[in-house]
Amino acid sequence: MKSIKWIWRFFKRLFIVLFILQLAYIVALKWINPPITITQIVSWMNGEGLTKEYVPLKDISEEAKLAVIASEDQLFPDHSGFDWRSIQKAIEYNKKKPGRVRGGSTISQQTAKNVFLWQGRSWIRKGLETYFTFMIERIWGKQRILEIYLNVAEMGRGIFGIEEAAQRYFNKPARDLTAREAAAIAAILPSPKKYQIKPMSSYVSSRSKKILQQMNFLRPDRDIQAIISNKQ
């Protein structure tokens, strides 16, 4: 009986310590850049490479910020981390076509997954993703979430972050990306290991044109401009 109580106290204290540590890490990342992620470690261990360079949001072109919002999460300025309508549509789609998988993740959810968790699909990971999404929305804010997303997202095999992608694909820094170039990078985000920019596949070419159209549609939105503008 004593051993059971000791084990219970041990795990309770361990849980409290781990909770405090992860909370402190979340708060620290509001100002400190993530040193490395699980996805980046796995990419390096699998021999796929690991190249990354962190740049602040002000050194990323407005076109790149707008492109990922247009491509990945057009309601990014308005939701609190979750786009419930898109999630419901994804659930219904996956039920009808179980052989395919359609995601409904927001930029906030993708950032939480990329920074704190591993790739894959499980209820445990999804539960943790929900928790971390909730926390970063309240602690970091939209601009910090977008900044980290643009710096940790995989944008090609072993290529992490918009700066590395801009240099690799267009031989220029992220701050100089044009609308077309940014749209091309955003077009490969759903599956960056599968789709290519150089040479550009027909899928990426077609998708980037659609993203450009959405960018032009979203550009006047004041809430989006408040997040992406470099003139603040």
CATH, residue 219: 1.10.3810.10
Instruction: Report the pLDDT value the prediction gives residue 66, as an integer from 0 to 100.
Output: 97
Sequential pLDDT tens for the chain (232 residues): 667 777 777 778 888 888 899 999 999 999 999 999 999 999 998 888 899 999 999 999 999 999 999 999 999 999 988 876 655 544 443 444 344 333 468 999 999 999 999 887 778 888 999 999 999 999 999 999 999 999 999 999 999 999 999 999 999 999 999 999 999 999 999 889 888 898 888 999 999 999 999 999 999 999 999 999 877 5
Q: b/e map of 211-226 (b: 16 or more CB within 10 Å)?
A: bbebbeebeebeebbe
Instruction: Tell me what pLDDT residue 99 has.
Output: 41
Take residue 47 and report the two structure tokens written for it: 């021999």
Looking at the fold, whether 94 and 169 belong to one and the same domain comes out as: yes
pLDDT, position 101: 38
Residues 52, 1: one domain? Answer: no
- 18 in the same domain as 87: no
Same structural domain for residues 168 and 211? yes
Residues 222, 132, single domain; the answer is: yes
Q: Which domain holds residue 56?
A: 36-228
Q: Using an 8 Å Cβ cutoff, are 54 and 163 in contact?
A: yes
C-alpha 168 chain-centroid distance: 19
Q: Are residues 185 and 81 in the same domain?
A: yes
- Are residue 103 and residue 174 in the same domain, yes or no? yes
Q: With contact defined as beta carbons under 8 Å apart, do 49 and 157 qualify?
A: yes
Does residue 59 share a domain with residue 4? no
Determine the length of the chain: 232
Tokens encoding 8: 């219970």
Number of domains in the chain: 2
Same domain, 12 and 124: no
Verify that 9 and 58 share a domain, yes or no: no
Same domain, 150 and 195: yes
User: Does 15 share its domain with 85?
Assistant: no
